[in-house]
Structure 1
Amino acid sequence: MATAPTATALAPTHCSTPQQRAEREAATQALLQERATTTDPGEKQRLLEHIVELNIEIARGIARRYRDRGAEAEDIEQVACLALVKATTGYRLDSGTPFIGYVVPTIRGEIKKYFRDLAWTVRIPRRLQELQGAITTKVPVLEQELNRQPTTAEIAAYLGAEASEIEEARAAKGCFHVLSLDRPSTSDDGPDLAGSIPANPDQDLEQFETLDQLAPLLEELDDRSRRILHLRFVEAKSQSQIGDDIGLSQMQVSRILKAILNRLRARLGVTTYAAA
């Protein structure tokens, strides 16, 4: 059996710097190219496994950001790893998108799908899922208004549904398990689930994804471009101040900065953005 090229074998799997991420991306692209050209099924599988091993920490890193949200950490990681395999087989070399720019949204989407399906032990139509939720949250309000237990027909009219749908949703009640927000997230004396969920649960993850996708792209820029970005977004200097620093006019800085950002946005597939 053929061995992996030295460059890919030495590529880091645990990446903490832009240089390491760039090395991992380059090694992944080389393996993907090799897998695309081979016709040997065994070799294709070996290369697939090598790509997954090289990028497994991406999947684990994303999975860690979804811990303590009502699912077992091992299950979330398994979903993430399977999504990594799915992304590896579905990635197109001619897409112009870095591998990490494709794999991160794929993993995140699969984890979100897992959480959407998590509460349902038996799959039932989404319409009945929605009705079950409406019955749980809205019928108590109707009970207060009527000062009694409403009939099935009254509930159906209140929710804009058919009486038969209400009966089916009630019959499916045992299939749905709602996690209590007072449930300890990790241990009996640990914080409750509500306290472990931030106001914007995806903000940190989105920042992580963006930074991880940007890192190899920034490495492709020339020194002056990286310097301009550093002055603008790290040191928060104005375009005029940047111009004074590197010997350009404010207008020239503006054009260069716009070109750099448009290039990065195009590579990341971003179509809407705030002004620089």
Structure 2
Amino acid sequence: MRSQANDTKEYDMVESLDKLDHKELFNIYKETKDINIRNELVNRHLYIAEILSKKYVNKGIDYDDIYQVASLGLIYAIERFDVDRGFEFSSFATPTIIGEIKKYFRDKGWTIRVPRRIQELSKKVNDVKVKLQQNLQRVPKVKDIADYLSVTQEEVLEAMEASQVYTPKSLDISYDNNGDDKEVQLKDIIGTDDKSYDFIDNRDFLKKCMENLNEAEIKIVDGRFFQNKTQVEVAKNLGVSQMTVSRMEKKIIKKFRKELKKLNEL
């Protein structure tokens, strides 16, 4: 009986809320903070969140995630709205919801994290490119954008390059192969580091270091690091003790580190 009575009471409440306009609901919610009133307000205005969410589709984040953020923004707007000021709720809620969506994109949309200043500049650069193209009737140059935003051309280029990591391309994306029937995938045309360059750099570095070693030190380096001999074996070939080879080896490594430090400081 109690359950039936509660259900009847809840039904009567829902029915009574349906008869109130949204201004009356806002006034009641302002006084009572009744969660049922807020839910009714949310349900009546979810269409705003839906419309605004659709404007951000295909920008790198799933629609469901955007809609969820927009709905949260709608709740924030309901909490802060004051009907006595005479504004329409839709006019008040729109910038609040858009602000939440943009903040979500700013914080979550970048696949690779970049500094906040570059994220913000990247957004300005994209907006200004469209505006200048309309005003100049041509594609704006980097200098045009830099002058308009009062920043350096290097900063504009940095922002434009950073924007490429916002929605990176899949390695499986395909391209036409100069008219051939067979398509080429991005992963097949991306260059790789040539290890030969590292080999050449390392060889030149070692050659320079070896020029500063005496004959005994050169034999130790050759025996220990090129022939993989033990310290005992190298000591026997040089006619010295294993301890002597150990001390000389540490001295040689110290020389190499000193040369490497000089190279890094260039």
Q: TM-score, normalization: structure 2?
A: 0.40
Structure 1 or 2: more helix by fraction: 2
Higher relative contact order (CA 8 A, sep 6+): 1
Q: TM-score, normalization: structure 1?
A: 0.38
